[in-house]
Amino acid sequence: LVLGLPLIALLIAGARAEPVSSTRFDLILRNGTVFDGSGREGVRQDVGIIGDRILAVGNLSGRQATREEDVSGLYVIPGIINVHDHTVPESLTRPEGLLTQGVTTAIANPDGGGSVDIVKQLSPAGGLGLNYGAYIGFNAIWQSVVGNDDRRPSDAEIARMRGLVTQGLEAGAFGISSGLDYKPSFWAKTDEVIRIVEAGRGWHTGFPNHERVYPGNGYSSLAGITETIEIGKAAGLMPVVTHMNLQGASAGKVSQLFAMFDRSRSQGVPVGADALPYAFGTTALDQLLIPNWAQDGGREAMLARFKVPALRKRIAAESSEIMDRRWNGPGGVYLDQLKQPLPQVMKDMGDIDAGEAVIRLVEQGLSRVILYYGTESDMLDILRNPLTALSCDCGARNWTFGHPRQWGSYPHFLGRLVREQKLMPWKEAVRRMTAVPAAMVGLTERGYLMPGMIADITIFDPNTISDRATIEQPTLPSVGVRLVLINGKLALKDAERAPVPVGMRMIRSRHEASRPMDFRVDRHLDLSGRLPDGTSVALTLGQGADAERPKGKVSLRLAGAPIAFTPSILQTADRWASVTGIGRWPDGRVEALTLLVEQADPLDQGHPHLTVLIDGAVRADGGLQGRVGITRTPAGK
Ligand SMILES: [Zn+2]
């Protein structure tokens, strides 16, 4: 006997056939200080979990659970979401460096990298140690079609690259990432990039770009960021300035940067941003230190140019200029594999100049470098901006060298910058690591700790959370993260990792929108109509900027049954909304319920569209015969 899918669904659903008021929870987290991710103050509460879902937040003192954890004195927050993740494939099953920071979800392929086959990439044989999704990378696509040479693609090649963008989005990508600073996609002209990524128009998704900073734009981050915004705007994608910082000629110009964001927003194109809590980065040794023209054609072509004395001299001189203009001089270059700053290496090589030393290191096969840029005060100002999500530009990797961010970013932010330097209140720090990045990449059921949301939860001690990793000892684990739950399952407890990987592969549907988080926005949703399968809905909900939950009336019938729906949160974007909460069936069964609402589905001739998710699975989906109204008003207007 083979069970049909609907029957299996019924059996699974039947396993939960009790009302929540009497159900035994799988897990209760007791007496923690709960920050829900919205920016509201922490409240001492209990959290009740069944399966992979948060079903109750409040006083659960009369309720029982199979397992309980007393988390008195600890902060309980939504799992941290890293939108700029460089985890290497061999560490995906055991992402120690991320779990000990409290990261539960990571989005791979930033800077345009990764595989053009993201389904394969997201399905490693050993399983996933955390939730893992991916961007589709422009650089990967460009390199696979155009190669390493500085040349113009044909119309047919542009069409092929557009096809790969669409294929990635159909596979569930969380945006189209790019790193136009990196060769060979550096050779792509602005209008070529637009023609290619424009294949994502209508997918409600983003364009996070590592901007170009090079002699051609006067070593200006602001010029590179202007291009990012221009591409997003022209291609119908939300521009995202990823690992935002101000290098070279742009150092010190934070107010100009945010004025650009305001201008773009007022033109109807909100810009997203993420930043890391360090004023230095790490990358491949040659990419951002050797002049671009010398990298044309790839590594072998570059090494051949080094062998021509006249070219070598020119490359060394230009490399020195890059260091002076962009990386605070040779002193801003640190060779982490050698554990030496470049000036020391120059001395040891016989007092040679900086550019010549870099060439020799590249020739010797050294691969990585740490680079100092801009100023510490710019970094702090960037982090202070309420738009900025925290990202770490880090990833799990079992390397013995590297940037301290790989093991330290979020505890560094929470311990040094939030607790010690009081950069911002805890509630705001939590929002920047959870709801803001979730909205930016189009997650709807993660990023908040509320009934109906997925039980990704990080629990830490606010008095002790700290990074220990340094430039000299970059792999020292952070301290203070006490408990990490991923999809309701224990992933880490007191520095012990769960034996079985508990993460899942994440796929974005095109009805989950990349959006700026609803910060200081009063929002309202009116929805009425039916789907071809008989699902019917009539709903009027409003949620003020500071309101704890939406208020209004909901009536929902699924497969003929009336569902009592208690919403926890209304999220909105331009002509898009989602409502997540708890639905109760007539027989008392209680399940997580999310409605995804499109006022005018761009990929379906502007018709309204409704998707109903029950415990994350699509229960109903289609063009809505009816009416949708979504309004968003800045608070106080
Ligand atoms: Zn980057």
Mind giving me the DSSP string for 574-617?
Answer: TTEEEEEEEEE-TTS-EEEEEEEEEEEETTTTTEEEEEEEETTE
What are the phi and psi torsion angles at 246 (to 5°)?
A: -120, 110
Note the pLDDT tens digit of each residue in 266-290: 999 999 999 999 999 999 999 999 9
User: Of the ranges 21-25, 364-368, 401-405, 489-493, which one carries the lowest mean pLDDT score?
Assistant: 21-25
At residue 232, the 3 state secondary structure works out as: helix
The whole-number pLDDT of residue 482 equals 97
What are the phi and psi torsion angles at 302 (to 5°)?
A: -65, -45
279 Cα–ligand 1 center, Å: 13
Q: What does the block give as tokens for 550?
A: 């939406």
179 Cα–ligand 1 center, Å: 6
Count of all residues that appear for the chain in the document: 637
Note the pLDDT tens digit of each residue in 572-584: 999 999 999 999 9
> Does the structure show a pLDDT above 60 at 6?
no
> Does the structure show a pLDDT above 60 at 249?
yes
What percent of the chain clears pLDDT 70, i.e. is strictly above it? 96
Neighbours of 319 (CB within 10 A): 24
203 Cα–ligand 1 center, Å: 24
Mean pLDDT computed over every residue of the chain: 94
210 Cα–ligand 1 center, Å: 5
115 pLDDT band, cuts 50/70/90, is very high
Q: Which residue carries 């009425």 as its tokens?
A: 528
Quote the CA–CA distance of 119 and 135 in Å, as a whole number. 11
The whole-number pLDDT of residue 20 equals 57
Taking ligand 1, which is a single-atom ion, which protein residues have CB atoms under 5 Å away? 111, 210
Characterize the bridge pairing of strands 481-486 and 489-493: antiparallel
Quote the CA–CA distance of 274 and 367 in Å, as a whole number. 26
The whole-number pLDDT of residue 2 equals 35
557 Cα–ligand 1 center, Å: 47
Quote the CA–CA distance of 580 and 82 in Å, as a whole number. 22
Q: How many CA atoms lie within 13 A of 149 on its CB side?
A: 5
The whole-number pLDDT of residue 21 equals 60
Name 424's Cβ contacts closer than 8 Å, sequence gap at least 6: 383, 384, 418, 432
- This prediction's pTM: 0.94
Q: Please check whether residue 95 is in contact with residue 131, taking contact to mean a CB–CB distance below 8 angstroms.
A: no
What are the phi and psi torsion angles at 220 (to 5°)?
A: -115, 115
Q: What does the block give as tokens for 353?
A: 């100049």
Nearest to 210 by CA among 189, 235, 185: 185
369 Cα–ligand 1 center, Å: 13
Q: Please check whether residue 230 is in contact with residue 263, taking contact to mean a CB–CB distance below 8 angstroms.
A: no
399 pLDDT band, cuts 50/70/90, is confident
DSSP letter (8 states) at residue 330: G
169 Cα–ligand 1 center, Å: 21
CA 53-55-58 angle, to 5 degrees, is 135
Note the pLDDT tens digit of each residue in 461-515: 999 999 999 999 999 999 999 999 999 999 999 877 777 899 999 999 999 999 9
User: Of the ranges 13-22, 131-140, 416-425, 628-637, which one carries the lowest mean pLDDT score?
Assistant: 13-22
H or E element that contains 145: helix 138-146
User: Of the ranges 9-18, 208-217, 406-415, 562-571, which one carries the lowest mean pLDDT score?
Assistant: 9-18
Note the pLDDT tens digit of each residue in 298-351: 999 999 999 999 999 999 999 999 999 999 999 999 999 999 999 999 999 999
The whole-number pLDDT of residue 616 equals 95
Q: Please check whether residue 415 is in contact with residue 460, taking contact to mean a CB–CB distance below 8 angstroms.
A: no
> Does the structure show a pLDDT above 90 at 159?
yes
437 pLDDT band, cuts 50/70/90, is very high
Note the pLDDT tens digit of each residue in 533-562: 999 999 999 999 989 999 999 999 998 899
Cα torsion at 100, 102, 108, 109 (round to 10°)? -80
110 Cα–ligand 1 center, Å: 7
Quote the CA–CA distance of 501 and 342 in Å, as a whole number. 40
Is the dihedral angle over the CA atoms 139, 102, 279, 382 positive or is it negative?
positive
Alpha helix positions (H), 461-549: none
- Segment 400-421 shows an average pLDDT of 96
The whole-number pLDDT of residue 447 equals 98
What percent of the chain clears pLDDT 90, i.e. is strictly above it? 91
93 Cα–ligand 1 center, Å: 24
CA 154 to chain centre: 33
> Does the structure show a pLDDT above 60 at 19?
no
Phi-psi domain of 470 (left: phi exceeds 0; alpha: psi -120 through 50; beta: other): beta
Note the pLDDT tens digit of each residue in 585-594: 999 999 999 9
243 Cα–ligand 1 center, Å: 7
114 Cα–ligand 1 center, Å: 13
Characterize the bridge pairing of strands 496-497 and 617-623: unpaired
CA 110-116-119 angle, to 5 degrees, is 95
Q: What does the block give as tokens for 603?
A: 């990929």
H or E element that contains 405: helix 405-411
Quote the CA–CA distance of 145 and 157 in Å, as a whole number. 7
